C-alpha cells in the first residue's frame, strides 16, 4: 500500500515473514465478527495460498503460501480487496466495539419535560416543608433516618438516579454521574440533611430539563421535516365505504384511497384504479409515470391525476419517520468520539471524588467536608452539555431542512478535508435542456427540424427526449402527426411523418441506418467541445440537424464550492458515470481539483477508499439513490436535494432535503461551531468544578453550597450549548 495511513481501517503492514509464511496486521481484522470464517475461506480459495488464519484479538492474519514469486504488496493488495467488500459492516462493528466500554448513563430521551417538571415541583414542595418544619429536639442520624416518611419520599423521588448509579457499578463495574449523585443524596439523608439532598436533586433535574426539552424540540423538528404523507387518509371499511382516519390508525393490510393532488402516505400495492404519479422524490425520474393494479407505490410520491386504492405494506414503526427518529436518538454506533472521550474522561475522574472524600475525612474527621467531594463531579456537566449541544445542532439543522442521523456525523463532518461530488442531480440539476441547435439542411427551418425530432420522441420518457419536447413546447411548435414510434435500444428512435422516415439518436444509430455524418464534423466538434450531449436528427437517408443537450449546473453550486474552500476543504473531486468530455467541462467550469468519468457505482466506492487510504476525511455528496455505495463508504455521505426516501435516508448520513447546495458549507460551519461549543463547555465544567473542589476540601464551602456551585456550572454549560438553537444558517 502506498504511504502510511495507520488510522485507516484497511491499512496493512507486514509484522513478520519467512519463506512461505507471512503475518500481516490490519486494524480491520479486529472487527470482522461473524465474517471471520467467511473471509478465511475466501483467502484460501486462492491457488497459491495453502492456509489463512485470522486472529481477531491481535488483528493479524497468518498466511502460508507456496509461490515464491508472490510479493508482500501482492498479498496486502489481495487482503485489502477482499476486506473492501465488507468495509461498511467492519466500520459498524468498530463503532459498536468502541462504545462497549462507555459509561452507562440514563437515556434522557426516555423522560418527558412534563415528568421532570412534576418531579421538580414535588421536590420543591418537599424542600419548602423541610425549611419551615420544626427541627426535632434530638435529631436522628444514621440508618434510622432512612425509615421516616419524609426521607422515604425523598428516596422515591431520587429512585431513577440511585437505580442507575448502583446499576452502573453492578453491570459495568464503573461509576457514573448518577453514582456520585446517589452517594451524595444518601449521605445527606443519613446525616439528616434532607434540604441538601433535595437541593442537589432540584438543580440536577433543572439541568436535565433543559437538555430533554432540546431533545423534544429536535424530535418535533425532524417529524415536521420528514413528513412523507398526509396526516389523515381515506380508509376503505369492511362494508366498502370510505372513512377519514389518522395515518397512525392505518395497519398493514388496510386499504386506503388516494385521489388526484394528494400525497401517498404508505408504501403498498395498487389494488384498484390507475394513476399518473410523480415519483421524482424516489427515483429521480423527471417525468411522472403511470401506475396500474399490482404495481408498487411509495410514501412521499404525489398523484398528478387518477384515483387509486392501495393496500398498505409499510406502516407505523416501519415508516421512514419512526425509523429515522429512532436512529437519530438511539443508534449505539452513532455516538461522537468527543462524547466517548468526555464519558471516559469524566468516568476516570469519578473515583477521584471518592478518593478525595476519603482523604478529606481522614484528615479532618469532618463528614460535611468529605461530602463536598461527593456532590461535585465533572461528568454531569460534560454529559449534559454535550448531549444538549448535539441535540441543539440537530434541531437547528432539521429546522433548515437538514437531517443529521447522529452526533458522530456532526463531529466527523467538522474534520472533513475532501469533498466528492456526483455530477447528475448534484452539481447539475438533473433536468437536461436543449442548449445548441445546428441546422444542416437549409431547405428546412430550425423549428421544422425540431418538430420532426419531437415527433420521434413524443412517446418517450427518456430525459433527453423530455429536453427536446420541452424546447418544442416553449417555442409553441406543433408536433406533426406520425406513425407508431420504434425504439432501437441504446441507439435511438424512428417514426414516419408524411411518408418520410425520421430518425433521432446517436452517431452509431445513424451509421447503422446508412446515414453519413461526415458533413457535420465541425458542428459536432463545436457541440461536444461545450460538453453537451449530441443528438442526431435525420430525414430519410439525410442528416438534417444536430441538437446539443446540456444538464445545467445547479444555482449557487459555484458559490458552494468557493465557500467549501473557505471552510478548510483542501480537495474537491468530481466522480461521475457521464462521458469524459462532459465531466471535463463541468470540472473546468466549477474549478474542481480532479475528476473521474464513466464510473460504475462500485468504481466510485473504490475511489473513495483510495482517498481514505491516504488519510483523507471524505465527504461524498450525491443523490442518495444511485450513489448509495459511495455514500456508505465515505466518512460522511450527504444526500442533496428532495430525495426523501427510504433508500436515500438509509444510504446517507446527512440528508439535505432542500435543493440548495449552499447548505453543504453551512452544515459544516454548524458542525465546527458545535465542536467549539463543546470544548468551551469542557473548559468551563472542569475549571468551575475544580475551584469548588478546592473550596470544599478546605472547608470554606459547606456541602450544600458546593452542590449549588456544581449544579449552577452544569446549568451554565447546558445554557451555552442551547445557544446553538439560535445559530443562523446562511443560504
Q: What pLDDT, on a 0 to 100 scale, did the predictor assign at position 502?
A: 96
- Beta-bridge mates of residue 727: none
User: Within the chain, which residue ranges are assigned CATH 2.70.150.10?
Assistant: 251-315
DSSP code of residue 638: E
Chain-centroid distance of CA 6 in Å reads: 26
Q: What pLDDT, on a 0 to 100 scale, did the predictor assign at position 284?
A: 43
- Beta-bridge mates of residue 640: 656
Query: Is domain 251-315 given the CATH code 3.40.50.300 in the classification?
Result: no
Q: What pLDDT, on a 0 to 100 scale, did the predictor assign at position 287?
A: 54
Q: How far apart are CA 533 and CA 433, in angstroms?
A: 10
Q: What pLDDT, on a 0 to 100 scale, did the predictor assign at position 4?
A: 38
Over the stretch 600-628, which tens digit does the pLDDT of each residue have?
777 887 788 778 777 788 999 987 555 66
- Beta strands 618-622 and 594-596, pairing class: unpaired
R_g over Cα of the chain: 33
Q: What pLDDT, on a 0 to 100 scale, did the predictor assign at position 229?
A: 56
- The helix/strand/coil state of 572 is strand
User: Within the chain, which residue ranges are assigned CATH 3.30.70.100?
Assistant: 12-102
Q: What pLDDT, on a 0 to 100 scale, did the predictor assign at position 379?
A: 66
Q: What pLDDT, on a 0 to 100 scale, did the predictor assign at position 161?
A: 82
Predicted structure pTM score: 0.64
Whether the CB-CB separation of 79 and 13 falls below 8 Å is answered with no
The residues assigned a catalytic role are 422
Sheet holding 571-575, edge to edge: 402-404, 654-656, 636-640, 618-622, 418-421, 571-575, 594-596
- Beta strands 542-550 and 433-439, pairing class: antiparallel
Whether the CB-CB separation of 378 and 636 falls below 8 Å is answered with no
In the numeric block, which cell numbers belong to residue 686? 472542569
What residues in the chain have per-residue pLDDT under 70?
Answer: 1-8, 88, 92, 95-96, 98-110, 134-146, 176-177, 180, 218-230, 279-287, 316-350, 372, 374-379, 490, 624-628, 642-651, 703, 731
Q: What pLDDT, on a 0 to 100 scale, did the predictor assign at position 137?
A: 47
Going by C-beta distance under 8 Å and a sequence separation of 6 or more, which residues neighbour residue 393? 404, 410, 670, 671, 673, 674, 724, 727
The number of helix segments (H) and strand segments (E) in the chain equals 25, 24
What is the CATH number that goes with domain 12-102? 3.30.70.100
In the numeric block, which cell numbers belong to residue 475? 417555442
Q: Which fold has domain 433-550?
A: Calcium-transporting ATPase, cytoplasmic domain N (3.40.1110)
CATH class given for the domain over 401-429+553-668: alpha beta
In the numeric block, which cell numbers belong to residue 131? 425549611
Q: Identify the residue whose cell numbers are 448502583.
A: 166
Over the stretch 437-453, which tens digit does the pLDDT of each residue have?
999 999 999 999 999 99
DSSP string, 55-90: ETTTTEEEEEE--TT--HHHHHHHHHHHHHTTHHHH
Q: Which of 346, 347, 398, 375 is nearest to 216 (CA)?
A: 398
User: Within the chain, which residue ranges are assigned CATH 3.40.1110.10?
Assistant: 433-550
Helix (H) or strand (E) holding 278: strand 267-278
Q: What pLDDT, on a 0 to 100 scale, did the predictor assign at position 649?
A: 54
Q: Which of 187, 624, 614 is nearest to 370 (CA)?
A: 187
Q: How far apart are CA 403 and CA 650, in angstroms?
A: 12
Q: What pLDDT, on a 0 to 100 scale, did the predictor assign at position 352?
A: 74
Amino acid at each position: 500500500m502506498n504511504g502510511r495511513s495507520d488510522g485507516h481501517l484497511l491499512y496493512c503492514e507486514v509484522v513478520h515473514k519467512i519463506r512461505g509464511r507471512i503475518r500481516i496486521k490490519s486494524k480491520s481484522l479486529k472487527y470482522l465478527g461473524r465474517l471471520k470464517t467467511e473471509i478465511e475461506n475466501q483467502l484460501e480459495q486462492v491457488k497459491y495460498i495453502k492456509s489463512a488464519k485470522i486472529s481477531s484479538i491481535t488483528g493479524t492474519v497468518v498466511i502460508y503460501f507456496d509461490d515464491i514469486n508472490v510479493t508482500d504488496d501482492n498479498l496486502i493488495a489481495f487482503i485489502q480487496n477482499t476486506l473492501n467488500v465488507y468495509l461498511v459492516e467492519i466500520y459498524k462493528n468498530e463503532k459498536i466495539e468502541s462504545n462497549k466500554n462507555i459509561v452507562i448513563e440514563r437515556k434522557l430521551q426516555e423522560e418527558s419535560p412534563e415528568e421532570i417538571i412534576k418531579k421538580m415541583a414535588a421536590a420543591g414542595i418537599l424542600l419548602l416543608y423541610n425549611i419551615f418544619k420544626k427541627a426535632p429536639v434530638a435529631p436522628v442520624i444514621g440508618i434510622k433516618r432512612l425509615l421516616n416518611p419524609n426521607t422515604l419520599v425523598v428516596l422515591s423521588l431520587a429512585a431513577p438516579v440511585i437505580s442507575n448509579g448502583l446499576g452502573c457499578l453492578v453491570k459495568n463495574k464503573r461509576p457514573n454521574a448518577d453514582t456520585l449523585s446517589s452517594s451524595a443524596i444518601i449521605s445527606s439523608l443519613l446525616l439528616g440533611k434532607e434540604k441538601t439532598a433535595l437541593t442537589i436533586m432540584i438543580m440536577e433535574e433543572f439541568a436535565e430539563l433543559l437538555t430533554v426539552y432540546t431533545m423534544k424540540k429536535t424530535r418535533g423538528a425532524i417529524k415536521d421535516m420528514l413528513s412523507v404523507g398526509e396526516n389523515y387518509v381515506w380508509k376503505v371499511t369492511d362494508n366498502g365505504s370510505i372513512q377519514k382516519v389518522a395515518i397512525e390508525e392505518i395497519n398493514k393490510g388496510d386499504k386506503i384511497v388516494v385521489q388526484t393532488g394528494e400525497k401517498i402516505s404508505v408504501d403498498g400495492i395498487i389494488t384498484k384504479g390507475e394513476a399518473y404519479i410523480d415519483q421524482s422524490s424516489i427515483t429521480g425520474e423527471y417525468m411522472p409515470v403511470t401506475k396500474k393494479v399490482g404495481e408498487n407505490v411509495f410514501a412521499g410520491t404525489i398523484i398528478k391525476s387518477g384515483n387509486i386504492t392501495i393496500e398498505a405494506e409499510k406502516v407505523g414503526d416501519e415508516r421512514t419517520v419512526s425509523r429515522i427518529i429512532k436512529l437519530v436518538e438511539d443508534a449505539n454506533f452513532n455516538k461522537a468520539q468527543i462524547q466517548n472521550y468526555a464519558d471516559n474522561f469524566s468516568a476516570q475522574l469519578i473515583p477521584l471524588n471518592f478518593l478525595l472524600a476519603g482523604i478529606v475525612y481522614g484528615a479532618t474527621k469532618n463528614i460535611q467536608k468529605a461530602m463536598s467531594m461527593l456532590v461535585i463531579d465533572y461528568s454531569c456537566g460534560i454529559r449534559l452539555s454535550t448531549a444538549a449541544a448535539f441535540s441543539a445542532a440537530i434541531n437547528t439543522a432539521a429546522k433548515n431542512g437538514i437531517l443529521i442521523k447522529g452526533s458522530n456525523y456532526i463531529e466527523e463532518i467538522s474534520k472533513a478535508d475532501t469533498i466528492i461530488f456526483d455530477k447528475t442531480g448534484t452539481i447539475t440539476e438533473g433536468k437536461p435542456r436543449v442548449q445548441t441547435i445546428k441546422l444542416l439542411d437549409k431547405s428546412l427551418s430550425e423549428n421544422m427540424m425540431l418538430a420532426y425530432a419531437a415527433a420521434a420522441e413524443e412517446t418517450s420518457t427518456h430525459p433527453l427526449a423530455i429536453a427536446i419536447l420541452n424546447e418544442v413546447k416553449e417555442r409553441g411548435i406543433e408536433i406533426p402527426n406520425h406513425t407508431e414510434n420504434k425504439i432501437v435500444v441504446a441507439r435511438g428512435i424512428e417514426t414516419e411523418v408524411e411518408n418520410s422516415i425520421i430518425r433521432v439518436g446517436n452517431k452509431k444509430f445513424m451509421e447503422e441506418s446508412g446515414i453519413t455524418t461526415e458533413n457535420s464534423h465541425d458542428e459536432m466538434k463545436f457541440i461536444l467541445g461545450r460538453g453537451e450531449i449530441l443528438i442526431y436528427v435525420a430525414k430519410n437517408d439525410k442528416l438534417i440537424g444536430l441538437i446539443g443537450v446540456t444538464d445545467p449546473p445547479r444555482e449557487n453550486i459555484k458559490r458552494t464550492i468557493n465557500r467549501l474552500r473557505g471552510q478548510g476543504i483542501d480537495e474537491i473531486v468530481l466522480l461521475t458515470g457521464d462521458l469524459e468530455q462532459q465531466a471535463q467541462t463541468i470540472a473546468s467550469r466549477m474549478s474542481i481539483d480532479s475528476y473521474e468519468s464513466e464510473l460504475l457505482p462500485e468504481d466510485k466506492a473504490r475511489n473513495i477508499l483510495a482517498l481514505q487510504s491516504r488519510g483523507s476525511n471524505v465527504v461524498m455528496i450525491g443523490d442518495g439513490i444511485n450513489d448509495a455505495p459511495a455514500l456508505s463508504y465515505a466518512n460522511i455521505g450527504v444526500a442533496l436535494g428532495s430525495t426523501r426516501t427510504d433508500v436515500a435516508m438509509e444510504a446517507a448520513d446527512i440528508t439535505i432535503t432542500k435543493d440548495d447546495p449552499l447548505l453543504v458549507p453551512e452544515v459544516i460551519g454548524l458542525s465546527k461551531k458545535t465542536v467549539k461549543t463543546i470544548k468551551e463547555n469542557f473548559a468551563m465544567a472542569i475549571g468551575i468544578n475544580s475551584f469548588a473542589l478546592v473550596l470544599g476540601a478546605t472547608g470554606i464551602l459547606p456541602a450544600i453550597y458546593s452542590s449549588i456551585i456544581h449544579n449552577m456550572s452544569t446549568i451554565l454549560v447546558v445554557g451555552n450549548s442551547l445557544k446553538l438553537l439560535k445559530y443562523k444558517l446562511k443560504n
